[in-house]
Structure 1
Amino acid sequence: MAKSVLLASFISINSVDLSAFASKIELKAEVEDQDVTTFASGGWNERLAGLKSFELGVTWKQDVAASQLDSQLWALFATITTFEVRLSNAVVGTGNPKYTGSVLIKEHAPIAGSVGDVAEMDVSYPGSGALTRATA
């Protein structure tokens, strides 16, 4: 079993590589569980998979200079846009799959922190549609 250390992950939003601004990426997929238990279930719960969903969480290091992170993400606020993430910025392959889909840029936190803190924003973008995994 290969182990990984996240040193140079890749994140693209709206087809723009924003990896240089990200210090944390979390992509979570889940499925609703639907209870289909009946009297014939023998006293055990029975479950089926329902609707699937995913969420992309990112910690961004803020940059408000012209044409940098703040202006790029602000332009996407309240829209659905594409994304791609990979464990490594290396070429996509069986050892480095890419995950793609669309997310709603539902939040933006241009100013957050205390005196002496690094200017960063922790955000979560809910998925819209299917999440895809590819190795080519």
Structure 2
Amino acid sequence: MPTMVLTGEYVSVAGNTLSEYARKAELTVEVEEKDVTTYTALGWKVLIGGLKSGSLALDLLNDFAAGKLDSIMWPLLGQVVAFEVRPTQAVVSAANPKYTGEVLVKEWQPISGSVGDEASVGVTYPTSGAVVRATA
């Protein structure tokens, strides 16, 4: 059985490669469940899929230097921007699919932590429109 350890995910937001700051990237997609049960279901629920949605959650190590993470993300607040994530930084292939779409940059937490903590930020952005999986 093939297995993989994530050691080098590729993460891009608004055309900016964020892999050097990323500790975790999670892309979640889901579909609403719609209950269409009628009396003919004989006591069982009948469900169908509704609208799809998703989110991109990132744990990032912040960097406040010019041209680094904070200066990249700050101007994106409130915008819908493109994203791309891949299991590895290698070229896109059947073994390394890319997932693309758009997210709403609805939050940015530039400063968070206690004494002695690394400067990190955790954000979750909802997708806007379709998420596409490609192998080429």
Q: Deviations over 1:50-93 (max 9, x none)?
A: 00000000001000101110011001011000000000001100
Partner SS, residue 100 of structure 2: strand
Counterpart secondary structure, 2:70: helix
Q: How large is the RMSD of aligned CA atoms in angstroms?
A: 0.5
Structure 2 residue identity aligned to 1:124: T
Q: How does 1:57-136 map to 2 (within 5 A)?
A: 57-136=57-136
Q: Deviations over 1:1-21 (max 9, x none)?
A: 311101011001111111001
Residue in 2 aligned with 1:30? 30
Q: Percent identity?
A: 49
User: What is the number of residues matched between the two proteins?
Assistant: 136
Letter in 1 for 2:11: I
TM-score of the superposition, structure 2-length normalised? 0.99
Give the gaps of 5 or more residues in structure 2: none
TM-score (norm 1): 0.99
Gap runs ≥5 in structure 1: none
Q: CA deviation digits over 1:29-69, x for unaligned, max 9?
A: 00000000000011100000000000000001000101110
Q: Distance in 1 between matches of 2:18 and 2:24?
A: 12
In structure 2, C-alpha distance between the alignment counterparts of 1:63 and 1:122, rounded to whole Å: 13
Runs of 4+ in 1 over 6 A off after TM superposition: none
Tell me how far apart the structure 2 counterparts of residues 65 and 95 of structure 1 sit (CA, whole Å). Answer: 35
> What SS does the aligned partner of 2:20 have?
helix
Name the CA distance, whole Å, in 2 between partners of 1:21 and 1:98: 19
